[in-house]
Structure 1
Amino acid sequence: MVDLLLGQVIRFCDIPMTDQAFGMEHLTQGAVVVKDGRIVAVGPAEDVKRAWPQARLHDYGDKLISAGFIDAHVHFPQTAIIASWGKRLIDWLNAYTFPEEMRLADPLYAKTIAETYMDLALANGTTSMCSFCTVHPASVDAFFTAAQRRGLRAMGGKTCMDRNAPEGLRDSAQSAYDDSKALLHKWHGVDRLSYVITPRFSPTSTPDQLRALGDLWAEHPDCLMQTHLSEQTDEIAWVRSLFPQARDYLDTYEAFGLLGENGLYGHAIHLEPREIDRLSELNAGIAHCPTSNTFIGSGLFDMAGMVGRTRVGLATDTGGGSSFSMLRTMAAAYEIGQLRGTPLHPAFLWWLATQGSARSLKIDDRVGNIAVGLEADLIVVDLASTPAIRQRMSRADSFTEALFATIMMGDDRAIASVWVNGEKHH
């Protein structure tokens, strides 16, 4: 069956960094045609309707048709502890994260959390995500099974830790390698799923474990590798004490084969000049997690300094992040930009949550935009979803001004419909 969606349409041909939103295309009366899970046509409504007279019509009026949001860095096992009061990162991990992650040793509990997370993500318009699982292989199975059942393009991997973590969450260098390899062979490339090699961060892995995971990555270079980098200043000091021979935090990965173009490094707030140069030289990926950075008090990411130098995506960082909503995450990214004196344009924020995140995950040839040939992961956004937003939008002088009201005040009520791989989800 061929489906034809009518409404406003937003898509991108470049990074819209300027105030004029260069790189963004907005169709006031647009149309998107979906067939066999892919986008086969996009353009002005009347032209597309004329070319596809037999298509099944879905008229969304003045609602906005967009690529689905893509969450570049999430911890699905932390779904149940989101918005837990905390102090600093290490305190928060010990008080909330590690006890909760131990519960996912139970496959039934892991399944429950995975199902809950997927439902919440989709309700907020997130159609792809890259997640840390727990040390337990069953948590990876639960995550991928839940994603597969919904037809999602999802990425994730077993979190590996062999020190500085509770006994119930530690593996070893050998078991991290063996488990990760077995899970990679089980899930990588199945349907729309991709396995990601996942050391949590340097402080919770011995050099032997980092080396083992670097070896695994070298054997499977098409896989992504995800970890954390330079989130908090006291974390960086801890890394320095654990790796006194390292030039800097990034060097603790580079020394063991865990730095490359297919690497995705979460946070990357407090970087040294050498680290910035290396990430830029390799065009490595960075996941910006603004609600997490403010919630845990980590610092202010330098978006303006990094986006032109390497691949940057946007992420909720659930549950260190305080929301499942990429709209709320865009708003937080804007607020952090303001605090750094670099305001981010509404079109750029939207790009960051769609094509930018897809680029950071190396999947922008498949999702993250509305273009012929891409997979049809789409959302329909109500730009007047609440009375507060509606009254502000009524005074907007431009499309991006109206869009900005939903970015700053919108939530799951703004997501009117979600399409996953060409199928209407709701």
Structure 2
Amino acid sequence: MKKILLFLIMILSLTVFSNIYEVIPQDSKAVIVLNNAKTVYDDLKTVPIFGKILDDPTYAETLITGMIDAYIQSLDLNSDEVYSGFEKNVGIFVIEPQNNNYEFGIVLGPLDDGKKYIEVFSKVIDALMPEDTGINFYYIVKQSELQDYLIITTNKNAYENSKLNFIPKKRYNETGIYEEINTSTLNGYGFSYIKDNYLYSKFNLLTDSQITPKNVNIDSSEFFGLYYSKTTYIPDGSSLNLNKFGINLPEDLINSILSKSDWAEQTGTINLSMNDETGDIESNFAMKIKVKTNSSFDEIEKIIPEDITKEKLDKDYIKISKTVNEKSMIMYIWKKDDFLYISNLNKIELKKYENSSQKLSSNILYKELKSKIPEANIGAFFLDLKPLISFLKDFFGVEGLDGEFGGLGSAIASKTPDGKNIIEFNFIMK
């Protein structure tokens, strides 16, 4: 009886303490580990936005798995053999064997027979990868606590020459997703998990900067309908990327504005519709950036580059434009009191969105999520997916997509127990 009990304890110990980190390179620049991957996926479907997409009423999971099953069977493989490789732990790592030369790998396990999975996954991946990509995958079986792990990597030599046993900054044994990044510019770690049908995420970003916490109460902020963000922490050298609008403003201009700013906020929305005649999807995007800054409008105007056309519309109000691929990209910049405004719409067009906007405190989703994460002291972000969900509902003619979907994030200036500065990012999604 004692021998049987001892044997059962040994088996249980191997299952509990088998360590995926032992087969991940110690000097990895980025690591993501899904603890109990199948449970993570099943739990994710309890989060309303993912459940509605993957399950009832759109049934994307059924459609996708049907296509995958058909493909796997065409390779004379059993679908269950492929899926079982992802049931326990899944890891992803990025290494830098040479400067600015990155390789990545995927870790699956523990597995009953790692060599069997080499045959399964090599057949699937080789069939999927186009020959002209120039990317090769190599398959290695490693053991941790006498359990097999399959490593699929783009550089076998780099992996085998790496010192293994990655030590995470913080160990999480719960079901969820661990994330860590270690580069010359970013250093931090976090954990995501599902609880009570919400997706929670916390990420701690280490920083050398001494950050002064400020009030970031956004309850009365203007919300156009899709997203809102605000920050009171503007690091040196910060930039504002407007390339998606076709306007590439120089860093000197952005740095000049932000270096003299107390805070910046942005809100926007998108209206999607179907053209009945052409069948094309048409979109109208509206966004407004508001910055509290000590920069004068003359200072800002003088450093706008010559290749951007400027048209003065009024005092401290200009239209800037640039032709990109035979299409004119337009932005409007103006200043009123201590506030600088940037928008893709002129003042009159923007006023329509301002008049129809709501305070965040009136948004049902925002009110629901606000109490579930720590209060921000340097930045906040809110996303309401109703404009997109509403279009999908009409586009696919699917019923059952009613509800509140989106997320809320907060950024907090804090310190580690040993006194290091960190920015703690908290996020919740429904």
Give your verdict on TM over 0.5.
Answer: no
Q: Which has more helix, going by share of residues? A: 1
Structure possessing the higher relative contact order (Cα contacts under 8 Å, 6 or more residues apart): 1
Which of the two has greater strand per residue?
2
Pair member with larger Rg: 2
TM score, norm. by length of structure 1:
0.25
- The TM-score with structure 2 as length reference comes to 0.25
